[in-house]
Copies of this chain bind each other. A is one copy, B any other.
Amino acid sequence: MAGSALQNTRKIPVLDLQLSSFRDPQVFFHAPTQRWIMCVALSRAHQIAFFGSTNLLQWTELSRFGPSGITGVDYECPNLVEVPIDGGKTAWVLFVSINPGAPQGGSATQYFVGTFDGTRFVPESDTTEFVDFAKDFYALQFFTNVPSGNPVSIGWLNNWQYCQETPANSWRGVMSLPRRISLAPDTTQRLKLIQQPEDLAPLRGTASDATPPSRMDAGSSWETPLPAAAAHEVRISVEIDAQPAGLPPGDKGRSGRFVLNFLNSNEETLSIGFDAFTAQLWLDRGKLKGFSHPFFTNSFSAALTPDQRKITLHIVLDKCSVEVFVNNGQQTGSALLFPATPLDRLRLSATGAGATLSHFELFPLKQTVRAEEGPI
Protein backbone atom coordinates (compact mmCIF):
# COMPACT_ATOMS: atom_id res chain seq x y z
CA MET A 1 0.00 0.00 0.00
CA ALA A 2 3.04 2.24 -0.33
CA GLY A 3 1.99 5.70 -1.42
CA SER A 4 -1.69 5.25 -0.58
CA ALA A 5 -3.46 8.21 0.90
CA LEU A 6 -6.34 7.80 3.33
CA GLN A 7 -9.22 10.26 3.30
CA ASN A 8 -11.04 11.35 6.43
CA THR A 9 -14.72 10.60 5.79
CA ARG A 10 -15.85 11.81 9.22
CA LYS A 11 -17.99 8.66 9.41
CA ILE A 12 -16.90 7.85 12.93
CA PRO A 13 -17.00 5.68 14.82
CA VAL A 14 -16.66 3.05 12.11
CA LEU A 15 -17.29 0.32 14.67
CA ASP A 16 -19.21 0.57 17.92
CA LEU A 17 -19.97 -2.52 20.01
CA GLN A 18 -21.66 -0.43 22.72
CA LEU A 19 -19.12 -1.75 25.20
CA SER A 20 -17.10 0.34 27.61
CA SER A 21 -14.21 -2.15 27.55
CA PHE A 22 -13.63 -2.27 23.79
CA ARG A 23 -10.44 -0.51 22.82
CA ASP A 24 -7.02 -0.02 21.28
CA PRO A 25 -7.58 -0.99 17.62
CA GLN A 26 -4.60 -1.93 15.46
CA VAL A 27 -5.32 -1.88 11.72
CA PHE A 28 -3.15 -3.36 8.97
CA PHE A 29 -3.56 -4.48 5.37
CA HIS A 30 -3.46 -8.25 4.85
CA ALA A 31 -2.25 -8.75 1.29
CA PRO A 32 -3.19 -12.45 0.82
CA THR A 33 -6.88 -11.75 1.51
CA GLN A 34 -6.75 -8.19 0.14
CA ARG A 35 -8.49 -6.68 3.14
CA TRP A 36 -7.86 -4.61 6.18
CA ILE A 37 -7.65 -6.38 9.51
CA MET A 38 -8.46 -4.75 12.83
CA CYS A 39 -7.34 -6.32 16.13
CA VAL A 40 -9.14 -4.83 19.08
CA ALA A 41 -9.32 -5.68 22.77
CA LEU A 42 -12.49 -6.78 24.53
CA SER A 43 -10.61 -5.81 27.63
CA ARG A 44 -12.62 -7.17 30.51
CA ALA A 45 -13.66 -10.32 28.58
CA HIS A 46 -9.96 -11.06 27.99
CA GLN A 47 -10.44 -11.54 24.28
CA ILE A 48 -8.92 -10.05 21.17
CA ALA A 49 -11.48 -9.62 18.39
CA PHE A 50 -10.45 -9.61 14.73
CA PHE A 51 -12.50 -7.64 12.20
CA GLY A 52 -12.09 -7.41 8.42
CA SER A 53 -12.92 -4.64 5.95
CA THR A 54 -12.27 -3.84 2.31
CA ASN A 55 -13.03 -0.12 2.65
CA LEU A 56 -12.08 0.74 6.27
CA LEU A 57 -15.72 1.77 6.87
CA GLN A 58 -17.74 -1.45 7.07
CA TRP A 59 -16.21 -4.01 9.43
CA THR A 60 -17.15 -7.67 9.85
CA GLU A 61 -16.11 -9.72 12.85
CA LEU A 62 -13.86 -12.59 11.73
CA SER A 63 -12.86 -14.40 14.93
CA ARG A 64 -11.85 -14.02 18.55
CA PHE A 65 -8.82 -15.11 20.54
CA GLY A 66 -8.79 -15.77 24.27
CA PRO A 67 -9.10 -15.77 27.18
CA SER A 68 -5.53 -16.97 27.06
CA GLY A 69 -2.27 -16.67 28.94
CA ILE A 70 -2.17 -14.33 31.91
CA THR A 71 -5.32 -12.26 31.74
CA GLY A 72 -4.84 -9.70 34.50
CA VAL A 73 -7.79 -7.37 34.94
CA ASP A 74 -7.83 -5.92 31.41
CA TYR A 75 -6.44 -6.90 28.03
CA GLU A 76 -5.10 -3.87 26.19
CA CYS A 77 -3.20 -2.79 23.07
CA PRO A 78 -3.30 -5.90 20.87
CA ASN A 79 -0.83 -6.06 18.00
CA LEU A 80 -0.78 -8.87 15.44
CA VAL A 81 2.44 -8.80 13.44
CA GLU A 82 4.07 -11.13 10.92
CA VAL A 83 7.61 -11.66 12.15
CA PRO A 84 10.57 -13.20 10.28
CA ILE A 85 12.06 -16.34 11.76
CA ASP A 86 15.86 -16.32 11.76
CA GLY A 87 16.92 -18.28 8.69
CA GLY A 88 13.74 -17.78 6.67
CA LYS A 89 9.95 -18.20 6.94
CA THR A 90 7.72 -16.13 9.17
CA ALA A 91 5.23 -16.63 11.98
CA TRP A 92 2.51 -14.38 13.32
CA VAL A 93 2.87 -12.98 16.80
CA LEU A 94 -0.06 -11.65 18.80
CA PHE A 95 1.02 -9.20 21.49
CA VAL A 96 -1.43 -8.60 24.32
CA SER A 97 -0.79 -6.10 27.07
CA ILE A 98 -2.42 -6.58 30.47
CA ASN A 99 -3.05 -4.16 33.32
CA PRO A 100 -3.21 -4.49 36.25
CA GLY A 101 -2.46 -8.03 37.36
CA ALA A 102 0.86 -8.75 35.65
CA PRO A 103 2.84 -11.30 37.69
CA GLN A 104 5.41 -8.68 38.68
CA GLY A 105 2.64 -6.19 39.42
CA GLY A 106 0.73 -3.71 37.32
CA SER A 107 1.30 -3.75 33.58
CA ALA A 108 3.14 -6.10 31.23
CA THR A 109 3.04 -7.23 27.61
CA GLN A 110 2.80 -10.92 26.73
CA TYR A 111 2.93 -12.57 23.34
CA PHE A 112 1.64 -15.66 21.56
CA VAL A 113 3.29 -17.19 18.47
CA GLY A 114 1.14 -18.83 15.81
CA THR A 115 -0.45 -18.58 12.38
CA PHE A 116 -2.89 -16.10 10.85
CA ASP A 117 -4.81 -16.93 7.66
CA GLY A 118 -6.57 -13.59 7.30
CA THR A 119 -9.45 -14.75 9.48
CA ARG A 120 -8.19 -16.48 12.59
CA PHE A 121 -5.07 -16.40 14.77
CA VAL A 122 -4.12 -19.90 15.94
CA PRO A 123 -1.32 -20.14 18.51
CA GLU A 124 1.22 -22.92 18.05
CA SER A 125 0.89 -23.87 21.72
CA ASP A 126 -1.03 -22.92 24.87
CA THR A 127 2.01 -21.22 26.35
CA THR A 128 2.51 -17.54 26.99
CA GLU A 129 5.67 -15.47 27.21
CA PHE A 130 6.42 -11.97 28.40
CA VAL A 131 8.18 -9.52 26.12
CA ASP A 132 10.34 -8.17 28.95
CA PHE A 133 11.71 -9.71 32.14
CA ALA A 134 11.53 -6.44 34.07
CA LYS A 135 8.53 -4.28 34.82
CA ASP A 136 8.63 -1.10 32.78
CA PHE A 137 7.86 -2.03 29.18
CA TYR A 138 4.21 -1.73 28.28
CA ALA A 139 1.69 -1.19 25.50
CA LEU A 140 4.09 -2.39 22.81
CA GLN A 141 3.41 -0.91 19.35
CA PHE A 142 4.95 -1.51 15.94
CA PHE A 143 6.39 0.24 12.96
CA THR A 144 5.59 -2.15 10.11
CA ASN A 145 6.50 -2.11 6.40
CA VAL A 146 9.99 -1.05 7.47
CA PRO A 147 12.43 -1.12 4.51
CA SER A 148 14.81 -3.50 6.31
CA GLY A 149 12.06 -6.13 6.47
CA ASN A 150 11.88 -6.72 10.21
CA PRO A 151 9.10 -5.05 12.14
CA VAL A 152 10.33 -2.49 14.65
CA SER A 153 8.70 -2.22 18.05
CA ILE A 154 8.53 0.56 20.58
CA GLY A 155 7.18 0.34 24.12
CA TRP A 156 6.16 2.74 26.85
CA LEU A 157 8.93 2.56 29.45
CA ASN A 158 6.65 2.64 32.42
CA ASN A 159 4.16 0.82 34.61
CA TRP A 160 0.69 2.03 35.55
CA GLN A 161 1.48 1.22 39.19
CA TYR A 162 3.71 4.29 39.57
CA CYS A 163 3.76 6.21 36.26
CA GLN A 164 1.97 9.19 37.81
CA GLU A 165 4.27 9.39 40.82
CA THR A 166 7.80 9.06 39.44
CA PRO A 167 10.08 12.09 39.79
CA ALA A 168 9.67 14.47 36.85
CA ASN A 169 10.41 17.99 35.73
CA SER A 170 8.75 19.43 32.66
CA TRP A 171 7.69 16.06 31.19
CA ARG A 172 7.15 12.60 32.62
CA GLY A 173 7.94 9.28 30.99
CA VAL A 174 9.84 8.04 27.96
CA MET A 175 9.49 5.46 25.22
CA SER A 176 11.88 2.55 24.78
CA LEU A 177 14.53 2.31 22.13
CA PRO A 178 13.06 1.13 18.83
CA ARG A 179 13.73 -2.61 18.58
CA ARG A 180 14.21 -4.83 15.55
CA ILE A 181 12.05 -7.91 16.04
CA SER A 182 12.57 -11.48 14.88
CA LEU A 183 11.85 -15.02 16.07
CA ALA A 184 14.20 -17.91 16.75
CA PRO A 185 13.69 -21.38 18.22
CA ASP A 186 14.90 -21.87 21.79
CA THR A 187 16.53 -25.07 23.06
CA THR A 188 13.08 -26.71 23.26
CA GLN A 189 12.37 -25.68 19.63
CA ARG A 190 9.67 -23.19 20.58
CA LEU A 191 9.80 -19.87 18.74
CA LYS A 192 10.77 -17.01 21.01
CA LEU A 193 10.97 -13.29 20.40
CA ILE A 194 14.36 -11.78 19.60
CA GLN A 195 14.65 -8.04 20.28
CA GLN A 196 17.65 -5.98 19.23
CA PRO A 197 18.03 -2.21 19.41
CA GLU A 198 17.69 -0.61 15.98
CA ASP A 199 21.01 0.80 14.80
CA LEU A 200 22.52 2.93 17.56
CA ALA A 201 25.52 4.01 15.45
CA PRO A 202 24.14 7.49 14.68
CA LEU A 203 23.99 8.22 18.41
CA ARG A 204 27.45 6.98 19.28
CA GLY A 205 30.31 9.25 20.22
CA THR A 206 33.92 8.11 20.34
CA ALA A 207 34.37 4.70 21.94
CA SER A 208 35.98 4.75 25.37
CA ASP A 209 39.54 3.44 25.33
CA ALA A 210 39.08 1.89 28.76
CA THR A 211 39.92 -1.79 28.47
CA PRO A 212 39.14 -4.32 31.17
CA PRO A 213 41.52 -7.26 31.55
CA SER A 214 40.55 -10.18 29.34
CA ARG A 215 41.00 -12.46 32.34
CA MET A 216 39.43 -11.69 35.72
CA ASP A 217 40.17 -13.99 38.64
CA ALA A 218 37.54 -14.87 41.23
CA GLY A 219 37.23 -11.96 43.66
CA SER A 220 38.72 -9.38 41.32
CA SER A 221 37.11 -6.26 39.92
CA TRP A 222 37.87 -3.49 37.43
CA GLU A 223 36.51 0.01 37.23
CA THR A 224 36.39 2.93 34.80
CA PRO A 225 34.73 6.36 34.82
CA LEU A 226 31.88 6.71 32.35
CA PRO A 227 32.63 9.26 29.62
CA ALA A 228 30.61 12.46 30.04
CA ALA A 229 27.49 11.94 27.94
CA ALA A 230 23.69 12.01 27.97
CA ALA A 231 23.59 8.21 27.92
CA HIS A 232 25.89 5.20 27.65
CA GLU A 233 26.07 1.95 25.75
CA VAL A 234 27.99 -1.09 27.01
CA ARG A 235 28.55 -4.32 25.11
CA ILE A 236 30.29 -7.18 26.84
CA SER A 237 30.78 -10.92 26.31
CA VAL A 238 32.08 -13.00 29.17
CA GLU A 239 32.44 -16.68 30.01
CA ILE A 240 32.46 -17.80 33.63
CA ASP A 241 34.75 -20.66 34.66
CA ALA A 242 33.16 -24.05 35.21
CA GLN A 243 32.04 -24.75 38.77
CA PRO A 244 34.74 -26.73 40.57
CA ALA A 245 33.60 -30.23 41.52
CA GLY A 246 32.72 -31.13 45.09
CA LEU A 247 31.83 -27.69 46.43
CA PRO A 248 29.17 -27.50 49.14
CA PRO A 249 25.84 -25.85 48.39
CA GLY A 250 25.26 -22.30 49.52
CA ASP A 251 27.42 -19.25 49.09
CA LYS A 252 30.66 -21.13 48.73
CA GLY A 253 29.41 -23.51 46.11
CA ARG A 254 27.06 -21.35 44.11
CA SER A 255 28.52 -17.91 43.88
CA GLY A 256 30.02 -18.04 40.40
CA ARG A 257 28.69 -14.63 39.49
CA PHE A 258 29.78 -11.90 37.14
CA VAL A 259 28.50 -8.46 38.10
CA LEU A 260 28.36 -5.20 36.21
CA ASN A 261 27.69 -2.12 38.35
CA PHE A 262 26.93 1.44 37.33
CA LEU A 263 27.68 3.46 40.44
CA ASN A 264 28.57 6.82 41.93
CA SER A 265 30.15 8.34 45.03
CA ASN A 266 26.70 8.69 46.64
CA GLU A 267 26.75 4.94 47.41
CA GLU A 268 24.20 4.29 44.69
CA THR A 269 24.58 1.36 42.35
CA LEU A 270 22.67 -0.29 39.56
CA SER A 271 23.62 -3.95 39.44
CA ILE A 272 23.32 -6.32 36.49
CA GLY A 273 24.61 -9.78 37.28
CA PHE A 274 24.89 -13.26 35.90
CA ASP A 275 24.68 -16.30 38.16
CA ALA A 276 26.53 -18.73 35.93
CA PHE A 277 25.76 -21.97 37.74
CA THR A 278 22.00 -21.47 37.57
CA ALA A 279 22.17 -19.51 34.28
CA GLN A 280 20.09 -16.65 35.62
CA LEU A 281 20.49 -12.92 35.19
CA TRP A 282 19.45 -10.19 37.61
CA LEU A 283 18.77 -6.50 37.17
CA ASP A 284 18.73 -4.72 40.54
CA ARG A 285 17.82 -1.04 40.86
CA GLY A 286 17.20 -1.31 44.60
CA LYS A 287 20.31 0.60 45.64
CA LEU A 288 19.35 3.84 43.88
CA LYS A 289 18.01 6.58 46.12
CA GLY A 290 15.93 8.93 43.97
CA PHE A 291 12.54 7.22 44.21
CA SER A 292 10.82 4.89 46.62
CA HIS A 293 7.35 3.47 46.13
CA PRO A 294 5.75 0.27 47.41
CA PHE A 295 5.05 -0.92 43.86
CA PHE A 296 8.50 0.08 42.55
CA THR A 297 9.97 -3.43 42.65
CA ASN A 298 13.72 -3.42 43.18
CA SER A 299 14.95 -6.38 41.19
CA PHE A 300 14.09 -8.56 38.23
CA SER A 301 15.57 -11.69 36.79
CA ALA A 302 15.58 -13.93 33.77
CA ALA A 303 16.31 -17.61 33.28
CA LEU A 304 18.79 -17.99 30.42
CA THR A 305 19.80 -21.10 28.50
CA PRO A 306 20.48 -23.85 31.08
CA ASP A 307 24.11 -24.88 31.59
CA GLN A 308 25.36 -21.97 29.46
CA ARG A 309 28.15 -20.14 31.32
CA LYS A 310 28.74 -17.59 28.58
CA ILE A 311 26.74 -14.38 28.40
CA THR A 312 26.56 -11.39 26.08
CA LEU A 313 25.07 -8.16 27.39
CA HIS A 314 24.12 -5.09 25.40
CA ILE A 315 23.12 -2.34 27.78
CA VAL A 316 21.82 1.16 27.14
CA LEU A 317 21.83 3.30 30.27
CA ASP A 318 19.90 6.54 29.94
CA LYS A 319 19.20 9.31 32.47
CA CYS A 320 16.22 7.52 33.98
CA SER A 321 16.14 4.09 32.36
CA VAL A 322 18.13 1.05 31.45
CA GLU A 323 17.46 -1.44 28.66
CA VAL A 324 19.36 -4.72 28.80
CA PHE A 325 19.55 -6.99 25.74
CA VAL A 326 20.81 -10.42 26.76
CA ASN A 327 22.44 -12.95 24.44
CA ASN A 328 21.72 -11.06 21.25
CA GLY A 329 18.17 -10.19 22.22
CA GLN A 330 16.95 -13.57 23.50
CA GLN A 331 15.83 -11.75 26.64
CA THR A 332 15.34 -8.07 27.35
CA GLY A 333 14.85 -6.20 30.59
CA SER A 334 13.66 -2.59 30.71
CA ALA A 335 13.51 -0.60 33.90
CA LEU A 336 13.06 2.97 35.00
CA LEU A 337 15.84 4.23 37.26
CA PHE A 338 15.98 7.20 39.56
CA PRO A 339 19.47 7.68 40.97
CA ALA A 340 19.62 10.72 43.26
CA THR A 341 23.01 11.53 41.72
CA PRO A 342 24.10 10.57 38.19
CA LEU A 343 25.78 7.18 37.86
CA ASP A 344 29.29 7.97 36.63
CA ARG A 345 31.40 4.84 37.00
CA LEU A 346 31.31 1.32 35.62
CA ARG A 347 32.64 -1.62 37.61
CA LEU A 348 33.02 -5.24 36.53
CA SER A 349 33.43 -7.94 39.19
CA ALA A 350 33.96 -11.68 39.16
CA THR A 351 32.77 -13.30 42.39
CA GLY A 352 33.29 -16.91 43.36
CA ALA A 353 34.61 -17.99 39.97
CA GLY A 354 36.96 -16.49 37.41
CA ALA A 355 35.78 -15.00 34.13
CA THR A 356 37.18 -14.52 30.64
CA LEU A 357 36.08 -11.45 28.68
CA SER A 358 36.02 -11.83 24.92
CA HIS A 359 34.44 -8.50 24.03
CA PHE A 360 34.03 -5.07 25.62
CA GLU A 361 32.81 -1.77 24.20
CA LEU A 362 31.74 1.40 25.99
CA PHE A 363 30.20 4.28 24.01
CA PRO A 364 28.86 7.66 25.03
CA LEU A 365 25.48 8.26 23.35
CA LYS A 366 24.22 11.64 22.17
CA GLN A 367 21.10 13.29 23.48
CA THR A 368 18.06 12.87 21.23
CA VAL A 369 15.61 15.15 23.03
CA ARG A 370 15.91 18.72 21.76
CA ALA A 371 16.71 21.36 24.34
CA GLU A 372 13.51 23.31 23.63
CA GLU A 373 11.47 20.31 24.78
CA GLY A 374 12.47 21.15 28.32
CA PRO A 375 15.16 20.19 30.83
CA ILE A 376 15.86 16.50 31.28
Contacts and interface: CB of A to CB of B under 8 A. Distances in A.
Contact of A126 (B126, B254, B271, B297): B126
A367 interface: no
Interface residues of A, number: 57
Contacts of A138: none
A295 B300 CA distance: 7
B100 A103 contact: no
A283 to B, nearest CB: 9
Interface in A340-370: none
Interface string A66-89: 111111110000000000000000
Contacts of A161: 278, 280, 301
Given A67-B127, A188-B44, A280-B100, A299 B301 contact: no
Contacts of A45: 188
A38 to B, nearest CB: 22
Nearest to A100: B303
A120 to B, nearest CB: 14
Contacts of A66: 126
| Of listed A164, A249, A303, residue having the most chain B CB within 10 A | A303
Interface in A300-348: 300-303, 306
B68 A126 contact: yes
B106 A130 contact: no
Nearest to A292: B286
A205 to B, nearest CB: 31
A46 interface: yes
A300 to B, nearest CB: 7
A211 to B, nearest CB: 26
Given A249-B164, A280-B100, A294 B271 contact: yes
Nearest to A271: B294
Nearest to A105: B301
A126 B69 contact: yes
A188 B44 CA distance: 8
A30 to B, nearest CB: 24
Nearest to A299: B297
B284 A294 contact: yes
B106 A280 contact: yes
B164 A126 contact: no
A125 B68 contact: yes
Interface of A: 44-46, 66-73, 100-106, 108, 123, 125-130, 160-161, 164-165, 188, 190, 249-251, 253-254, 271, 273, 275, 278-280, 282, 284, 286, 294-303, 306
11 contacts: A68-B126, A69-B126, A70-B127, A73-B306, A100-B278, A103-B103, A103-B130, A106-B301, A164-B249, A164-B254, A295-B299
Given A71-B188, A160-B278, 13 more contacts: A67-B190, A68-B126, A69-B127, A73-B303, A73-B306, A103-B104, A103-B108, A105-B280, A105-B299, A123-B126, A126-B126, A282-B295, A286-B298
